[in-house]
Structure 1
Amino acid sequence: MVMGKTFKILDKKGGIPLDGPSLDAQQWAFVQTGLEHLDDGFSIFDANLKLVAWNSKFFELTDFPIDQFGYFGAPFEIFIRYNAERGEYGQFPVEDIIADTVAEARKFLPHTMERERPNGMILEVRGNPMPGGGFVTVYKDITERKTAERALRQANDELEARVQKRTAELKNALDALKISEEQIRLIADTVPALIGYVNKDQIYTFANKQYEDWFGHKPKQLIGRTAREVLGERIYHDQKSCIRAALNGEEASREFVLQLTDGREIHALVSYIPHISEEGEVWGYFVLGQDVTDVRTAEFKFRQAQKMEAIGQLTGGLSHDFNNLLTIIIGNLSVLQEDGEDDPAMQEMINPALDAARRGGELVKQLLAFARRQPLKPHLSDPRKLVLGMRDILQRGVGSQVELSLHINKNVWPVLIDPHQFENSILNLCINARDAMQGVGKVSIFAENVTLKSVFSDRNVDVTPGDYVVISVADNGTGMPPEIMERIFEPFFTTKEKGPNSGLGLSMIYGFVRQSQGHLQVDSQMGEGTRFRIVLPRSKEEQAIDAPQVRTGKIPQGSERILLVEDDPGVRGFTTSSLRRLGYEVIAVSDGHEAIGILEIDQQFDLIFSDIEMPGGLNGIEMMEQIKETLPHIPVLFMSGYPDKVMDQTGQNQKEIDLIAKPFERLELANRVRKALDRNP
C-alpha cells in the first residue's frame, strides 16, 4: 500500500482521467479493508456496465466462477447469461432475459429485494445507483435468519480473523480503480455494519452512516472527535481494554448491549483491528461493528429448549417409577379400606394414608404434564364455550376485590384439546394473576382467531404460519423481571411461599400446551403487569364427543382367563390379587418373553393385560405385535405410568390402543378390564 499519495480515476484502458476529485489511497484502503472483512458480498458496475470492484464474498454467494469473471472490466451481460443458462431466473428464453435485465440495469433504480437461489440459499440484494452512472450492489446471505435452526449453527466470530489477507489485493485494486469520495461514502453507507477508522491519537478520521443509528451522530459530525466523545463515557470505559489492545497492535473484540437512538436494544459485536505500517508502526485502528441480536436470540431459544427438554426427561422418568410405587400403595390401601369398612379404627389410619397417596398421584400427573408425557383426552372443543362456562368459578378463584372481564370473540375456531386440562390451565393463570396483584386489581381474558402469514418470533418461541386461536390472561399486577421470566416454567420454581404442589402450575400449563401442539408465550414488565398467551392451532377435523359414562356403583366382575404381564413385583402382586378377588383366573408373568412362552403352550386366554415399558429388550407394544401374528383377535389392555417414551419409539398413538394409566385403584381396574373384555366378546 502506498500511503500519502493521491490517485485519479482512469478509464478502462488506464489512459484518460475520468471526472471526479482526487482520493487519498489510505481512505479507500480503509473502506476496502473493512468491506472485505464483512460477511456480505458487493460489486460495482460502471456506467458502461463493466465490473470495476468486488469482494470475494460476491463470488462466493452468487456461485459465479471467479477465475472466469473476476477481472476488472468484466461485462455485466456475461453474469446475466451465466445465471440464465443455469436456470436462476426460471424457464424463459435466455436472450430475452439478458435483453430485459441489461435494459433495467441502464436505468438502475434503488431497490432492496430477496431472491431464493435454486440451491436453497436466500439472498437479500440491495442496489443503489452511482453518481455519474453505474451501480453498487450488496449481497447478504439471510438463509440462516429465515431458517432458525441454521441460524443456531451460524458462526458468530467471522469478523475477528480476516484483516491481514488483502494488502497486495488492495494495491492492485487501487491501481485498477480510483474512486471519488462521494462513491466511497455511498458504498460504506450501503453496508449494514459499523465501519470507522480512528488514528493513533484516538481521533476519528472516517465513519459511516451506521454511527448515526448506533450513537446518534452524523458521520460528518464525528470526524475530528475523540473516541471517548463518540462512544460516550460508559461505552468507552467498557471498550477501553479493546482500544488499548488495538493501539498495541493486537486485534480485540467485545460484545455488549447497546440502546439505539430509537430506543431499541441490540447485541453489538465490535472488533478493533490495528492498522500497522510495513515498518511495524501502529497508525490507528479500524472499527467494525455488527448487530448480532438475531443470532443471540436464536441461541437463547435453543438453550431454553434444551433445558426444558432435559428437565422434562428427568421428571418423566421419575414419574414412571413413582407411578409404579403409587399403584402398589393406592391399590393395597383401597383393598384394606374395603375390607375394613366396618372397623372405624382401621379406617382412621387408612383414609389419611390413601388421601396422601392420591395427592401424590396428582403431583405425578402434574410432573408428567410438564414432561408432555401425561396421556391427554383430546376432544374437538369450543374455547369460547369453555371460557364462558368458567366465569363463576374464575370469579370465585380470583376473589371479590378483583375485577374479572372476559373479551371472547364470537365464532372462535375449534381446537383439539383436553377440555379438563384447558380449564385447569385458565384457572391456574387467573389465580397466579390474583397473587401478582395481591388480591386487588383487574384480570382480563381474551379469546380470538389469529392467522399468521409468516413466522412470528419472540424470545421464547417461533410460531409457524397458519390459523391459531389465542387465549390471553392479562393482569395489572407487579410484573416480572427478566431473570424470573426465564425460569417460570421450571417445575417447583416459585416466587410464592412454599406450599403443597407450589411451583407446578405454570410447568403443568407449559406441558399441556406443548403436548397440544401449541405455544405458551409471556410478556411482562415490572410495574406494568403480565400477559400469558396460549396459542393453539386451529383444528379442521371433525370428531365425535365421547358420551359420558354412567356410574352404576356396582363393581363389575367376571370369570375369564387373563394373562398379566408386569415386571414390577409389587404392581404384579396387587393386580393379580385384585383381579382374582373380582373372580378372574389370572396367570402372571414378569416380561414379554415369558408371556410369549406361555402362549406357545396355552392359548386359552380371554385378555392380555400388559405393562408397556419392560426390561429384556421387548416392550409391551413389541410383544403384542408378535402375539398378534398367531392370535390376531385376542384383546389387550395396556397399563403404563410413562407411555409416551415407548410409543415415540414404536410409532404407536395413544388413541390406537386401550390404555389404563398408573396409578389405578381397584374400581378403575375392574371397570377397564370388564370394558376390554366386553368390547371383544
Structure 2
Amino acid sequence: MPISDDAITQLTRTGLNLIQQALSIFDSDLNLAVCNRRYQEMFDFPPDYVLPGISFEETIRFLVYRGEYGQIENPEEAIRARIEAARAFVPHYMERMRPNGRWVSVEGFPLPQGGWVTVYTDITEVRYHQQMLRARSAELSEQLLSNSERLSETNRALSAANTSLSAAKAQLTEMEARTRLTTEMMPAHIAHVDRSLRYTYTNRRLSSIMPGRPQQIIGLTGREALGEANFGKIEPYLHNALKGDASVFEFTDAGSGRRIRAAFTPDQMGTGPINGVYILSMDITEESQARAAVMQTRKRELAAQLTSGLAHDFANLLTIILGLQSRLDRLVLPKGAKDLVRSTLGAARRGGALLDRIASISGRREVRPVAVDLPAFLKDLELLAGPTLPKGIRLEIHASGFSVPVLLDAGSLQDSLLNLILNAKDAIGPKPGLITLDVHPVHETWIEFSVTDTGTGFSAEALDRALDPFFTTKGGEGSGLGLSMVYDQTTLSGGMVRLENTEQGGARVELRLPYRPAPRQSPPGMVLLVEDSDEIRESVRELLRSMGHSVIEASSASEAEALADIPGLDLVLTDLYLMGSKTGLDLARALTARGFTRIALMTSAPPADPLRAAAHGEFPLLPKPFDAKTLAQFLPTVTG
C-alpha cells in the first residue's frame, strides 16, 4: 500500500527531530520552511520563531538584539548585512563562540529550488579537548598544537565543502539529465563537433532528419556520418564557424531529397579559443514546399498583372488584323497574294492561341488535390497517351510502392505527364525509340515521376533555359510554353522539376511532388445540404445518399441556420451563392461562431469571383461541376 504524502511528511519531521544537530531551511523569499526541535533548543527560540513562514529578518533581529553575536554598535546595520549575505546564497562554513560560552559550527549551502539549508553543530567538546591538549601536553610545541587546531578546523571546513560539492554534483547531474531529455524530445538534430570536425555530442536525431544516416555518430567525422555529398555542402560553413562566423543555410539531403535547414554556432566562451562547432539541423521539407507554392502563386499574380493589359490590346490588334485579312481574302488579288493573306491569317490565329496559353499560365489557378489511386491513374494515362505515339515508339510505365491513395492534383498532373510524353516523342523523331515513365516514392517525402526518352537529349542551352517561358528548340513549331507550364503546375503543388541527360544520350525530366497519403474515407453521417437550385440540390442529395449519408435540405441561409441545431448533424455543405440576403459564406461564418466545425462550400463561380476569393482558404471549397468520385474524395478533407 503506498504511503501518503502526509505520512511521509510526518516521518521526515520525526527523523529530523531525532538528530543531534540543529537544522533550518529558508526558502527563496527568506521565510522559514522547515526546522527541527534541536534548532529551537540550541538557540532558545520562542515558539513563534520556529513556525513555517517566519522571516529570516525577524529571526536575525531577535538574535542580534538578544546578544547572540555579542555587543554590536549598530544592530540594524548588522541585520542588513546578514540579510544581504543570505540573499546571495553563497555556501559557507564558520565557527563561533556563543554568549553562553558554547562553541557552534555553522555550515550552509543553497538549494536548487531557491533558498538554503543550514546545519548547526555544537563543537564545544571538541574545543574543550583542544584546550586540554594544549594545557597538559608540555612536551608538544606551541607550533604543533596550533597546527593541530588549524588542521581540525580545516577538516571540519573541508567536510562542509565536500557536502556542498556533493550537492552541487547532484544538481549538475540532474540538470544534465534534463538537458539530454529535452534535446532528445526536440524535432531537430543537435550535435557538437570538435576542431577536427569529429562528433563529440549528438541527440540521436540524425536518422530522423536524414533517413539512412546512423544514429550513433559520436567519434565519427562529419564526412563519415553525413556522406560525401552532404558533407561537401556544409563543410565551408563548418570552417567559417571555426573562424568565429555563425551562419544558417538550407540544403537538400542527397539521399532522401528532404530540405534541411542547418545552423552553425562557434563553441567559444567569451574571447577564448574556439573549441568546435554546435550544429542544429531541422527538416523543413513541408515548409519549403509551401514556400515554393506561395512564391509561384505570387509570380503568377505578377505575370497576370503585367500581361492582362498587354493581352487585351494585343487581342484587339489581332481582331483588326483578322478582319482586314478576311476582307483582302475576298478581293481579287494578284498571283501569290492569296497565299500571303492565308499565311497572315494563320499567324494571327496562332497569336490568338498563344494569348490563350499565356492566360492559362498567368491567370489564377487553384490546386485541387484529391485522393488518387496511382496505379489506376497511370493505367488511364497510358490509354490516353498511347494513340498519340507512332508505331515505332513504345511507352513503358513502371510504378511501385503505392499501397494507399495519395493526394494529388490529378488534372494538372495528367496534363504535365502528357506534355512530357509528347515532348519525348518529338525528341525521338521519326526513328524507333522508347519512352519510360518511372514512378516511386522517395522516403515518404516525395513522389518522383521520371520521364526518360532515347532521343538526342538536351543541349547545354536547353538544360539552362528549357523551363523559361517562350524558349523552344522546335523553331516555329513550338510555343515555348510546354515545359514552363509543367514547371508552373508542379511548383504550385509544392514540387520541383529537374532536367538532365542520361548516360545513353537521351533526356530525362524528373517531377517531384509532395508525398501525402489521402485521409481515410469518412464514415456516413448526417449532412445539411444548402442549395437554392432544386435540380442541383436533388442531384447532390442523390450523390450523398449513394455514399450512405443521410441528408437534410435547405434552400436558404436562414432556413439552414434554423436546421443546424438538429442533434447528430455531422457536416454542412452549402452553395456559395444563395437566394436571399445571406450568402453561403455568411452562413458558414455564422455557424462557425456557434461552434460548428465541419463546414464546406461548393460553387460554380470562377476563381476570380470576389466572393469565391474571399472564401478561398477560410473554408474547404468544392468547384462545380463534380461527380460522385470527386465528392467522395473531397468530403474526408473537411475536418473540424
- Alignment TM-score, normalising by the size of structure 2: 0.38
> Of the two, which has the highest radius of gyration?
2
Relative contact order: is structure 1 or structure 2 higher (C-alpha 8 Å, sep ≥ 6)?
1
- Alignment TM-score, normalising by the size of structure 1: 0.36
